[in-house]
Amino acid sequence: MNSLSLILRVIAVLAAVASAGLFFMSSGKLQEKETQLAAARQSLAAAQSELTGANEKVESLNASFEAEKRASSKLKSQVESVRSDLYTAKQETTRAQTQLNQTKNQVAQLEDEKRKLNAEIVTVREQAEPAQGAAATSLSQGEIDALEQRVQVLEGQNQDLQDELSVFQAKAVAMSSGKSSGDERPSAAAGGYNLNTASAVQPATLGSEATITKVSADDGLIVLNASPELGLDSGLELTLVKDLKAIGKVQVVEAEGSYALANILPGTKAAGLEEGSIVNLLR
């Protein structure tokens, strides 16, 4: 009986020792597993962080790509616009050059006509002066009067030619100035293009503008509405131009504010001076 009790005690002790050993072994394995789990969690967090960084880089690259794509599209549009501007400027320059050449030819023709007319006036005067100074002459008074009238007609034609010549000369100068402005080209700048948005060729203008406010054909007077900055002083002679044609000459009598009173000079047709019409002033 005592032996059996002893054996049972020994077995109980051994069981307790075995249980303790198993407990410590399982505790060690559990600690190891927890360590491994913590390491795995750290690895997962690091991988998640790397994935987040990679996604951010991908988004950044996508944004950069879209920006470059938009910039490329904008640059392409600017290049097309520049090409269109250049083509338009080339056409306008060619057209302006053609008009300028035509105007120069007209000026040359008018100058030639003026020289011929001056020569004819001199010839007629040379014929008239001896006839007037001679006591006895083969020319009658009627023929002398006809020669004098011919001189007056030729002088009037000469003045008309001079007015027309002044108009075409001013037109040629204005067109040359406009052509120089149209020769500018769009230039490249850092980060893009500076496009030339101005007109390829500026329209030609002749002198300053004024409005015919009142015309009195019976009194030979005209009232012009023009900028006071033009300085329309008393005694100043002006050629009135409308639609690139000289329609008459006037001489300023007095000016006050934006209004100027002027005499209509001989040779000017009052019918061509319409109230309310806009004219250019050539000095």
For 214-237, what is each residue's pLDDT tens digit?
Answer: 998 888 899 999 888 888 888 898
Residue-level pLDDT at 252: 92
* CB 176, CB 201: distance < 8 Å: no
pLDDT tens for each residue of 98-123: 777 777 777 777 777 777 777 777 77
Contacts of 120 (CB under 8 A, 6+ apart): 154
Domain ranges of the chain: 100-194, 208-282
Residue-level pLDDT at 89: 75
pLDDT tens for each residue of 154-167: 777 667 767 776 76
Bridge partners of 239, per DSSP, are 249, 282
Mean pLDDT taken over the chain? 75
DSSP 8-state code for residue 249: E
How far, in Å, are 151, 152, 159, 245 from residue 122 at the CA level?
9, 12, 15, 27
Q: Band the pLDDT of 83: cuts 50, 70, 90.
A: confident
Architecture in CATH for domain 208-282:
Beta Barrel (2.40)
Which helix (H) or strand (E) segment is 222 a member of?
A: strand 221-225
Higher per-residue pLDDT: 138 or 147: 147
Residue-level pLDDT at 1: 58
Residue-level pLDDT at 251: 92
Residue-level pLDDT at 191: 42
* Backbone angles phi and psi of 245, in degrees to 5: -130, 135
